Structure 1
Amino acid sequence: MTESIELPPRQAWLTSLTSLFTRVAPGRWLALMLLALHAAVVFDADVALTRAFLLAHYGLFLLWQPLVRSETRIEPRLALPVFAMAAMLVLLDGSWVMALWLAILAGLVGAVATSQNERGPRWAYLLALAYLLALLLAWVLPQSLGGAAALPEGFQDAVRFGLPLLPLAILFLPASRQRSTSSTLDFIYGLMLSLLIMVMALGVFAVVAVAKVSYAWALVQTLLGMAALLLVLSWLWNPRAGFSGLGQVTSRYLLSVGLPFEGWAQRLATRAERERDPESFVRDALADLQELTWIRGGHWQAARGEGTFGEPAEHSVSHAFHGLALTWQSQRPLTPALALHVRLLSQLLGYFYAAKVREQTLREQAYSQAIHDTGARLTHDVKNILQSMKTLLAAADMSTPEDSDRLLALMKRQLPQLAARLSQTVDKLKQPNEMDVAQQPAQNWWSALQLRYEHDDVQFFADALDDTPLPQDLFDSVVDNLLTNALRKRQTEPGVAVEVRLGLHPLVSLTVTDSGVAAPEHVARNLFMSPVASDFGLGVGLYQAARQAARVGYRLELTDNEAGRVSFCLQATENSSNP
């Protein structure tokens, strides 16, 4: 039986309060934050009441802020700036402090607005941004400039009682409970927006102080000047008149950071095509990076080796991608742009290194597969030679003294054949690349085959023979496998007839037929596709023979598979080089 754990009353109250706060949509906190800010800035109240509204505003800001998740535990070193900002906002009584805070808050709201996908939250943040800009331009800036920028009473009443309609409208917009995170914020956009608002405020102050004009005219002149400047910058960013523009220049600089990135990437790709060893490729690629002035050296480590490049330095940054660990060392701490560039270089090297490792693995697997195929084919050749030797030994055991002359003649004919075949097998083992290369005239090969099986009661039929070249290794391997399997049936079915038929026109074909039982269906279905197990050993040898035939332009098929007639046919394909 489990017992429930009861929390202390204070801790349970804090837990329930935190859960209540996290269930409130961020847009609601935003609206309440702006209303508290309006009450503290616009309405003339006692200093204590104003500071109370500012403190409430900052508390609501902490509940709304998208920089840190509400469930995240804040460390003391991060909490210090939070309390410092609250103290500056509440204790320092100045219009310029409020203007700075409004610029920062507007940039943050604008950054959040760019990350919203739903229409309701996007409109909420746009209304909040409009409210902050209106409060700054219509109230805070005129108050900071003094009497020269005093606004009419009617306009002040419109700002005091009409501007809060924007935060109130946010309360009635459909809200989303999805919390924004720091990863979705466009900090560059927010920073640029805050800087533009600060430049506009300082521009208005400069025009009023120098030209001695009204606040409204100074604001118009500043907005027109900033609009013209932004228009020129937007044209220079992408001019479309032959000049690449500031956008491409900036992107190229951020990408290269003093390094001709395109040239280095091209050399990296060329080196990847030329160098086969992954570790040597990494060593040469890092040696090519020594022209970077902001990188003094470093260290790399992989599964099969490690090394250093350049000279050691005080500061370092490490990255690991796809089994390649890189440590970059510099004389000074890397700036964010340089750190991003180092990460890009490390990732690119990691991708190339992984590709080289996969290439080496595939090369080793192909080599092992070639050894396996060669060994399997030679194993069947040796097996067939051994079968012929067993046949000769059986003939010697069954012979009588009267058969000595006939047995001696048989040995003289067969032993040189076996010796020659064994010698060919050994030569194939020494030079596997020359397998399937040797050619033999059809007439000579047919005569040698008849001599080899003259005592096995095999019938041979052939069309008009000529000197058509046949791949000797392929035909010897296939016919030995087929005849061995057919003759083995006589152990359980005496009297099985076996015949071999050779045709040369229009395409070369070799057919072996026996009158034994048919191969089982599951064996026949997978006979040439994969090694199969059967009572007669069919499958492995024929699988290798089929692959060997495909490599030299032939096709091995089971043409008939029924009781009393089982036929295998080796035939040249139409695109084969053989006639």
Structure 2
Amino acid sequence: MSTYSNKYAHDFWAEFDNLRRETGLQVSKYGQGVGKMNAGFGRTWGKRLANWPHLLLTSHLLMVHALAFGGWQVPAVRLLWLAALGLFLIWQPFVAGEQRINGRQASVLLGAALLSTVLLGPWLLLVWCGVLAATIGGRAVGTEQRSERAGYLLAFGYLIGLAVLGVVPEISPAAQIDSALRHSLAVFMPMALPALLLFPARAPRRKSGEAFDLFYGMLVFLVMSVLVLGALAYMPIGGAGYVESLFKTSMSVAGALLLVAWAWNPRAGFSGIGSAISHYLLSLGMPLEQWLVHLSEESEKNADPARFLTAAMQRLAATPWVLGISWQMSDGYGEVGESSPHRHVCVAGELTLTVHFRHVPSPALRWHVEWLLRLAVEFYLVKRQSQQLQQLGYAQAIYETGARVTHDVKNLLQSLQVLCYAATQPGDPAEVAGLLRRQLPQIADRLKSTLDKLQSPQADDSETIEAELWWRRLQDRYAHAGIAWQGTPQAGPAVPRALFDSVAENLLQNSLAKRQREPGLPIAVIFDGASLAVSDNGSAIPQALAKTLLSEPVPSNDGLGIGLYHAARQADSLDYRLALAENRAGLVRFVLSPLRPLPAT
């Protein structure tokens, strides 16, 4: 302890020496000060003292002690009150003690200090002890270091003893204690104050939120008031002396505080009073959980964003502190209840919500209403985006269907051109007539299916056809195209007609167009009743084009560039896979294969 005290004193005199050098104060080696201070001495001195909070607090408590034990009746000792107020102004954790004040502020402070000095008495000292205890208690809550907190608790306990043993007996003649005991307390209690210097304390961070806890400070003031007034009230009721009344009252208050502490932060699974109070302060009449339930219910009932918002605002308007609500959207306006001059506006993009209150709202209520409105806005925006995505999805379906229909019409036109070319070639008229008789109904049927897709963009393409029948019809359509047909599918398995027609038409038309660029190109089609393969012996497809050929539309000189893309997507929807199996010079092969066994007809 002695080593720590010597270090504490050494640090103090080191600080004083720095102060002397900064302000120009000269101190002789015999301790006699000579010289002068510059104009900034007062401010620098206050700043230095603010870095020693426990020294200021100890000095202030010592002066209050001298006043509490009868010193307030002596005019010379009463003047200590002015010095005590000055030390408190430097120590207090609210405003920087070294801060400059203007003339008006100085006049107000000086007037209040002089008036309190004139009116100084036991009641004023008792109230001051309560205020100081509340300030110390609120400061101790924001302290993280145990040693610093212990110092504040020591000062708090000293204030309690000073109030109940020194000030209260000066107020009431009935609250008397033994004169010898009171004299001993007056003499020996100050000896505990130097122990406060043994606990290091940092200067309070007056600009931060941890400088003072107002809630705990008020709680400390109320507890101290209950202790003092309860002791005074128990004496006539219980017929006991002041010391006995003080002891019983303190035990009762301690028991009540222990019970409240257990209920506030319990260990046995009960949520506690603290949780209930926090829940109430955050809810303000409408808990967030209940509001979320209301929003979820209205969201399920109303798919339209405007109707949902109207229903949600009607729920909010039913609360007692709301007089009316109005909202403005890009495509409409709504209002529930009445308007008032007290309002809160929430703006989110194109949506503006205005809540009209019955009375002037507090900042906490505005914050709470802002949260409620933000939650409603998020639900509204999600519904609005869902509606827009649904519209975009429908527009995309129409676009993709139109693109597919356009490509199918192009394939039908090419099939008609092949038939017209076959009809103009010399040969047996009966054979040509038979070809037209077989192919024209198929082309008319395919054209009808294509037109049906325009009326129903989501039409089902899963209509099946016998694999052997489809294979014969494909060979008839391209009988004069010089294509090598390989495969003899057996009767029984069925394939999706629209898918195989689309894939075969696209692959064969692309191969025939490639033959025009590379004359004499052999083309082969292989079909085994389940998988279809189209190959040629020409040049390879460029790698950049091959990577995106089946996954997105591509530039094309011979067509629209979307045929194989739509064919691949159509295959995916029907559990098939269209892939570029080989891509090298001399062999380019596409394969359409099922992902599961085919059904029988």
Deviation at 1:101, TM superposition (A): 4.0
Per the normalisation by structure 2, the TM-score is 0.75
The answer to whether the aligner puts 1:42 opposite 2:73 as a matched pair is no
Q: What secondary structure does 1:152 align onto? A: helix
Deviations 1:58-107 (A, max 9, x none): 1442xx327x9999999x9x999999987876665234434434434444
SS of alignment partner, residue 458 of structure 2: helix
- The structure 2 residue matched to 1:65, chosen from 87, 94, 101, is 94
Correspondence for 2:167: 143
Deviation of residue 549 (structure 1)? Answer: 1.1
The percent identity for this pair of structures is 35
Amino acid at match of 2:94: Q
Equivalent residues of 2:317, 2:325 under 8 A apart: no
| Contact 1:513–1:566 (CA under 8 A) maintained in structure 2 | yes
Q: 2:156 aligns with which of 114, 121, 132?
A: 132
Which secondary structure state, in structure 1, belongs to the residue aligned with residue 188 of structure 2? helix
Contact 1:110–1:125 (8 Å) recurs in 2: no
Larger Rg: 2
State yes or no: 1:521 paired with 2:527: no
Q: CA deviation at 1:19?
A: 11
Q: Which moved more, 1:262-271 or 1:433-442?
A: 262-271
Provide the rounded CA distance (Å) in 1 between the counterparts of 2:160 and 2:129. Answer: 7
Aligned partner of 1:385 among 412, 419, 423: 412
The verdict on how the C-alpha distance between 1:242 and 1:532 changes in structure 2, with shifts beyond 3 A counting, is closer
Residues 1:492 and 2:517 aligned together: yes
Equivalent residue runs for 1:534-545 within 5 Å: 540-545=562-567
Cα RMSD (Å): 4.6
Which residue number in structure 1 is paired with residue 11 of structure 2? none
**What is the alpha-carbon distance in structure 1 between the residues aligned to residue 322 and residue 436 of structure 2?**
80
Query: Residues of 2 paired with 1:523 and 1:69: CA distance?
Result: 77
Give 1:92-103 correspondences, 5 Å limit. 92-103=119-130
1:474 aligns with 499
Q: What is aligned with 1:55?
A: 86
- Closer, same or farther: CA 402–341 of 1 in aligned 2, 3 Å: closer
Relative to structure 1, is the Cα distance of residues 104 and 361 closer, same or farther in structure 2, using a 3 angstrom cutoff? farther
Q: 1:296 aligns with which of 308, 315, 323?
A: 323
Q: Contact between 2:79 and 2:117, CA under 8 Å: does it hold in 1? A: no
CA distance in structure 2 between the aligned counterparts of 1:87 and 1:541, rounded to whole angstroms = 97
Which position in structure 1 is the counterpart of 2:344? 317
- Structural mapping, 1:446-485, within 5 Å: 446-485=471-510
Please list the CA deviations of residues 175-204 of structure 1 after superposition, one character each: whole Å capped at 9, or x if unmatched.
489665238965433332332233223323
Q: 1:541 to 1:319 in 2, by over 3 A?
A: same
Q: How does 1:20-35 map to 2 (within 5 A)?
A: 28=51, 30-35=53-58
Q: List per-residue Cα deviations over 1:229-266 (Å, max 9, x = no partner).
A: 23444566689999987566656655665568766643
User: Unaligned stretches of 5+ in structure 2?
Assistant: 1-37
Match for 1:159: what amino acid? M
The residue type paired with residue 423 of structure 1 is: K
1:92-138 Cα deviation digits (max 9, x unpaired): 5234434434434444444454445x53xx54245224313422423
**Cα 1:226–1:291 shift into 2, 3 Å:** same
- The AA in structure 2 aligned to 1:42 is H
Aligned to 1:268: 295
Matched, 1:511 2:533: yes
Tell whether 2:219 aligns with 1:157. no
- Return the alpha-carbon distance in structure 2 between the equivalents of residues 16 and 402 of structure 1: 123
Residue 283 of structure 1: aligned partner: 310
Between stretches 484-493 and 359-368, larger displacement belongs to 359-368
Aligned residues: 549
Give the Å deviation of 1:284. Answer: 0.9
- SS of the residue corresponding to residue 559 of structure 1 reads strand
Identify unmatched segments of 5+ residues in structure 1.
Answer: 1-12
Code of the residue aligned with 2:198 in structure 1: it is A
Question: Is the alpha carbon distance of 1:84 and 1:285 closer, same or farther for their aligned partners in structure 2, counting shifts above 3 Å?
Answer: farther
- Contact kept in structure 2, 1:321 and 1:346, CA below 8 Å: no
Query: What is the identity, as a one-letter code, of the residue corresponding to 1:41?
Result: V
Displacement, 1:553? 0.9
Q: For residue 543 of structure 1, report the CA deviation from its aligned partner.
A: 2.6
The residue identity in structure 2 corresponding to 1:225 is S
Q: In structure 2, what is the equivalent of residue 442 of structure 1?
A: 467
SS at match of 1:182: coil
